[in-house]
Amino acid sequence: MPLPNTHTGPRFWRDASLPFIEARSIDEGRKVCYVKHSHETFSIGAISCGRTDYINKTARQRVGPGAVVVMNPGDVHGCNPVADEPWSYRMLYVDRAWLGGLQHEWGVSANQDFRPFAATMSMAPALYAGFNRFYEVLTDGAADTLQRQCAAVAFFGQVQSSLDPVAAAVAERSAHRKLERAAEYISDNCTAALKLEDICGASGLSPSYLIRAFRTRYGMTPHAYLLNRRIQLARGLLKEGGAIAAVALETGFADQAHFQRIFKQFSAATPGQYRR
């Protein structure tokens, strides 16, 4: 499998809007070697190229592309490339208190303490794909805070369900009226720069439950629902003859280019084509 590119050093991602997550990637890691070590964070990674001798406590495995490796806080581990094979991977380091809070909201943990996972590795294609989708959103400079927040909670909900299926049934408890309040709040305030905590405050739902249950109830994330509502509003204004640039600003978009792109995604036509 070819390497993604020739970048040889590690790359890190951090952002003040998600202080509980740090990301790291290695595109050419055949010279990257570690002594056995541990982290205070929960760590999860995806191997995209090459094989590695993965040690987690007393377990040793040889894993390759498609593998998702899991390290609980404090787990002594090592992960080094085999011989001189090309090796690339991505890692996420997640604050244990933040993840423990999610587990508590899902009913997995009796208190706010992080509940360790028994699994140290997964070859589930859905989890691997979900990891990479989330990583792309996380490191996308064009993604806004709400989009990243939604993606973070959704992905770690997938992690919990995949590695500990007991949580899946607990997290799907019915709260239809609260979800309806969330949808109503988004609709009524769709032109504002909403944050996840705004929607949670209006609906009385935790961030983790809101994102998981909202997708189940409405078929899209709160962020996508917000964009869809903005486009509905924009269609009405355009039919009344509103200027495209003015409609873009009036419906909450940062600029006309962003409005044009989102409008076409939701309408399969440009604002100009629709207005005509």
Tally of domains in the chain: 2
138 & 189 share domain: no
For the full predicted model, state whether its pTM sits above 0.85: no
Nearest to 122 by CA among 177, 222, 45: 45
Nearest to 102 by CA among 207, 254, 244: 207
Domain extent, residue 187, equals 172-276
The CA-atom distances, in angstroms, between 59 and each of 53, 86, 88, 120 are 10, 24, 22, 9
117 & 198 share domain: no
54 & 123 share domain: yes
CATH number reported for the structural domain that contains residue 272 in this entry: 1.10.10.60
C-alpha 252/C-alpha 185 separation (Å) is: 15
C-alpha 272/C-alpha 197 separation (Å) is: 35
- Full pLDDT tens readout for the chain, 276 residues: 333 444 557 889 999 989 999 999 988 756 666 677 888 999 999 999 888 888 888 888 888 899 999 999 998 888 777 777 788 889 999 999 999 988 887 777 777 789 999 999 999 999 999 999 999 999 998 898 999 998 999 999 899 989 987 766 665 554 678 899 999 999 999 999 999 999 999 998 888 888 888 988 899 999 999 999 999 999 999 999 999 999 999 999 989 999 999 999 999 999 999 887
Residue labelled with tokens 């609906």:
203
Question: Would residue 6 count as lying in a domain?
Answer: no
144 & 271 share domain: no
